[in-house]
Structure 1
Amino acid sequence: MAKKASKVAPPHRADSNRSSGSESLSQTLPPARRVAHVWTDQELEWLGQLSDAEIGRRIGLDTSTVASKRIAMGIGAQRKGRRARKWSKKELSLLGKIPDTQIASRFGIPRRKVIIKRQSLGIESPVTKANAKRWTPRVIAMLGKLSDVQVSRKTGISVAAIRSYRSRHSIPPAKPTFRWQPHQVARLGNEPDQTIADDLGIDVSKVRRKRQSLKQK
């Protein structure tokens, strides 16, 4: 006798309807909005005193959010290293009156900080003032015409300072004065002036003037 085929129960549609219903419901719901962080007084005090990353770690915000809040409040970022130095009235009174190196040495301040502080206050360097008085039109006119040693003897300015000033202002050094030696003088009148000038590396006019001066003697 043939066995009757067992009927397979159809899949339960309630589950599928339930899952499809939940999916459609999730699609219709709007995405969840982030709740804006309410900053406490303590957290606001941290801005600029602690790094943005450290504040974010403490209160559970990303660094960019902390930075945006700090910038919106006009607070600068935390400075690394030492805090800004407080200058005394005595130190400030000496700026521009004595060289920066002396102030740095006297009060134990890095020379670079002295320069930055003086410049931020619009105070001219005493060295610049001294140079303005030193480099008069008369002294400047000597540069390149007389040797640095000769200018130093006439003005009392050191050779190093003269050389430095001349170099900064692209003034070429004075050509060394040519001094005639006895054997060179002996050639005058015996050889052409141009030949002597070429051999000695000087202008032919100098040879001619020297020869004529000897004739006059």
Structure 2
Amino acid sequence: MKTWTDEMIALLGTESDTALGDRWGMSRMTVARKRQSLAIAPYDLKQGGFQRETLFRWSPENLALLGQEPDATVARRLGISRRAVYLMRLRQGLDPAKRAPRVYTLPPEAVPLLGKLRDAELAHRFGIPDDLVYRERKRRDIPKLQDEKPLSEALLADLGTDSDRVIGLRHGVHYSKVRQLRLKRQIPAYKRPNRKKMAAGGTATDGGHRR
């Protein structure tokens, strides 16, 4: 049975379900069900800056990525949908990249780094699943890497008052950590006020009706 680590949960919604599934060796639906159970919104593939994929220009460097990595990974790198990558790869006559075989054992050279690097960072460095690093660290009773600096009261007070990304930039903390802290404290995500309604004389919550 899949073990969901804190690091994995913090990444839900920050990348596509397919890309995370490829990284963790599980299906897209497994990731989607876990994300939905935690009421986390799906990753917006258009947030990379491309409002329409038809405006995207395939440079030689971008084309060179096709077939070398999974379509979902290429899509995440380029900020476009997986389907756009899939169609272009077919147009180029390229076969899909072969998924790396599932790793069930921790490389010996990774063992000394357990607890000295974040589980996700260690997994990325050796190309192994995050949950494998987590299980092996727990089996050896090695505590996870703690933040070098304690969380400030100002950061905790800011949770939910602005987007996780903005708060992270403000306090020098990765936005996934901000999201994790907010979810752990059951603080709802920040909702940006409706400027049009406020300009019309209403508030963000009263639907624009004056009292």
TM-score past 0.5 threshold: no
TM-score for both structures, normalised by structure 1: 0.23
Q: Rg bigger for which structure?
A: 1
TM-score for both structures, normalised by structure 2: 0.24
The structure with higher relative contact order (CA 8 Å, sep 6+) is 2
